[in-house]
Every structure is written in C-alpha cells, then in structure tokens.
Chains A and B, each alone.
Chain A
Amino acid sequence: MAIEGADLIKAAAFLGAGISMGLGAIGPGVGEGMVAAKACEAIGKNPKEAGLLTRTMLVGQAVSESTGIYSLVIALLLLFVV
C-alpha cells in the first residue's frame, strides 16, 4: 500500500488533534476538581459564605479551564486550518 505525502500529513493532523484534546483535557479536569473539592470543604466549614465561595470556585475553575480551551483551539486548528 502506497501512502502519499499529503495523506500522511492529514493523518498526522487528525491524530494530533485527538491526542492534543485528549491529553489536554486531563490536567484541567483534575485541577478543576481540586478547586471544587476545596470549595465543598470550605462551605462545610463555613456555610454562611456559600455565595461568595461558589463565585470564587467558578472563577477559579474558569481560569484553570483555560489550558483545556487552548487544547480545544489547537485541535480545531489542526482539523480545519492546517
């Protein structure tokens, strides 16, 4: 079976897109989980501040999710632009 250059490049781009998004999703997932875990603990210790803690948790999660979004952008670039 003969593999052409263009075909190989496309194949590598697809594989790269999947791996970039797949591996890129691991870190933010664990990190956001830690944020939420500590938020649960904090609310358990001080339920009165639930509103403030929820908001802080969401902002923290949004920031730690940004690397996941970078992976998403790279995956989409690999799929449609490159």
Chain B
Amino acid sequence: MMEWEPQIWVRAAAFFGGGLCIGLGAIGAAIGEGYTASVANESMARNPSQSNVVLKDMLVGQAVAESAAIFALVVAMILLFSSFSNPSWLTAAAIIGAALSMGFGAIGAGIGSGFPAGEACRGTVRQPAVANKLMTNMLIGAAVCQTPSIFALVVSFILLYTDFSAMPVWPAWAALVGAGLATGLAAIGSGLGGGTTAQASVEGIARRPESASSVTVVMLLGQAVVQSPAIFGLLISFILLFGTYEANSSLAPAMALLSAGLCVGFGAIGPAIGGGEVGRNGVRWVARNPGAGQVITRIMLVGMAVSQSTVIYAMVISLVLIYVV
C-alpha cells in the first residue's frame, strides 16, 4: 500500500475529508435550527396573532445559525473539486486537518446560535412592542457566537492553501492534523457558551425592554471572555502550523504534536460551556436587577476567568509538548 503515489492518497484524503467535514459540520446547525423552530411553534401556539413576526424571527435566526454549516459545506466542496498541485504526503495530512477543523468547529456555533433565535421568537410573543430590539440583539448575539467557527474556517483555509512541502513529512503530518483538531474542538465549547449567553440577553430584554443597552453590553463582555478558550486553541494551532520541525522518523515526536492539539482542543470544551452558563445567569440577573449590574458583571467576569484555569493548564501542557519534549 505504501508504494501508491501520493496523488492517490491525496485524492482519497480529500474525499474522506470532504465527507467528514460536512458530516460533522451539519450536526450543530441542524440541532440549533430545530431548537429555534420548536420554540417558534410553541410561541405561535401561545399567541397566533404574532405568527408573522415569529416566522420572520425564526427564519432570520435560522439563517444565521446555518452559516457555520455553510462554511463546512464550502470547505467540503473545495476538497471535492480542487486539484491539488504538487501533492505530497503532507497535503493529505493538511486536508484531513482542515476537514477536522471545520467539521468540529461548526458544531458549537450551529447549536449555540439556535438559542438566541429561539428566545427571540418566545420574547416576540411576550412583548410584541419590542420585536425590533429583540431581533437586533439576537442578530448581534448570534453573529458573535459564530466567531469560533470563523476561526475554524481560517485554520482550514491556511491548511489548504499553504505550501507545506518544505517540512519533513514525519513528524509534520501530526502537527497539521493536531492544528486542525485544536481549533476545531476548541470551537465547540465557545460556540455553545456564546449562544447561552446571547439567549439570556434576549430573554432579559423581553422582560425589561428598558434595560436593552446595558444588557447588550454585558452580553458582549461575557461572549468576549467565553471566546478565550477558542483563542487558546487557535494560538496552539498557529504554533503547530508555523513551527519548524526536524525530520525524525520515530513515533514519539509526532505523537507529542498530535497530543498537543488534542489536549488544548478537548480542554477548551468544558471551560467554555461553563463560561456560557456563567454568562447566561450573569446577563439574566443584570436584566432583572439592574441596580446590582456592576457587581454582577464583575463577578461574572471573575467567575468566567477562574473557570477557565483548566483550559490554561491544558494550553501549558500543549506548549510543553510542543517545545520541551
């Protein structure tokens, strides 16, 4: 098998990767949009007179939630139909890395942006007067919630369009796959967390429309901190992508690089989901009790920061795996 031309392996990897990419990438958006639609139905049943507005909210929200899956579709299409010039073994690894990055990266953002969209439908029925405010806030929240999937898209484009032929195949293949895994897995949690935070802000505005501006600001603060696990994953990815490697045909260095990507990728999932929970309750209570807004915001930021310490340990272990061993 090893005697086959790299050309064949690259084609095989591209087809396999294309399937993997859109297969994984479709999970999130489908769940998110399904959630939105279910809440929209529930809301319409409560107040059928608002069904037009709810339908509009639902469709706009679903369109935003869909964008992560569309990124995955784009990457899958590129994999299926582009002819890779100058193919080498590393091209195959880069393709798999790109597919994993975009595939995993679309899950969180897809599910996450379904939450604010659903909540906007519910809020519109409760408070038809502020439907426009809800829509604006939902769009801002859902758009910020897409950021991790954009990180994943950036990494997969770099993997696809950079010429890695100067690198030694072994161990650099592991670095490329690891880079894809790091950003892709790290994006899951941040997408979800950003979504739960945005959901609470839409809910809060529906309850107390006059607190809209402060709630949006607190939401953006929370979402920005929830993004940091994804930023750590991206940092490790870039270090893996642009590192210099000595040719070494033994297994250990390659596994260290792959493991670095896995470590920060998995490690980022939990803290970001936890941060999303903090954001949800923080934003919700800023809306309900604006007098304590400053204290709640402060506690929210500290709580998020402390719950991120484990992803920072994961990042340190990744850096040790890349630089020290």
Contacts and interface: CB of A to CB of B under 8 A. Distances in A.
Complex: A in contact with B (CB within 8 Å): yes
B242 interface: no
B280 A37 contact: yes
A7 B263 contact: no
A29 B311 contact: yes
Nearest to B271: A29
B303 interface: yes
Interface of A: 1, 3-4, 7-8, 10-12, 14-15, 17-19, 21-41, 43-45, 47, 50, 53-54, 57-58, 61, 65, 68-69, 71-72, 75-76, 79
A80 to B, nearest CB: 8
B16 interface: no
B282 interface: yes
B29 to A, nearest CB: 23
Contacts of A19: 259, 262-263, 266
Contact of B300 (A32, A36, A47): A36
B74 interface: no
Contact of A10 (B252, B296, B317): B252
B249 interface: yes
B264 A22 contact: yes
Interface centre among A4, A27, A28, A57 (most CB of B within 10 A): A28
B141 interface: no
A61 B306 contact: yes
B211 interface: no
A22 B254 contact: no
A18 B280 contact: no
B1 interface: no
A17 B259 contact: yes
Contacts of A28: 270-271, 307, 310
12 contacts: A11-B254, A14-B252, A19-B263, A22-B262, A22-B264, A22-B266, A23-B266, A28-B310, A33-B273, A47-B289, A50-B299, A71-B313
A37 B303 contact: yes
A34 to B, nearest CB: 6
B267 A14 contact: no
Given A19-B262, A22-B265, A79-B320, A29 B292 contact: no
A54 B256 CA distance: 39
Contacts of A21: 263, 267, 313-314, 317
B259 A14 contact: yes
Nearest to A48: B292
Contacts of A39: 299, 303
A40 B296 contact: yes
A71 B312 CA distance: 13
A25 B318 CA distance: 13
A72 B312 CA distance: 10
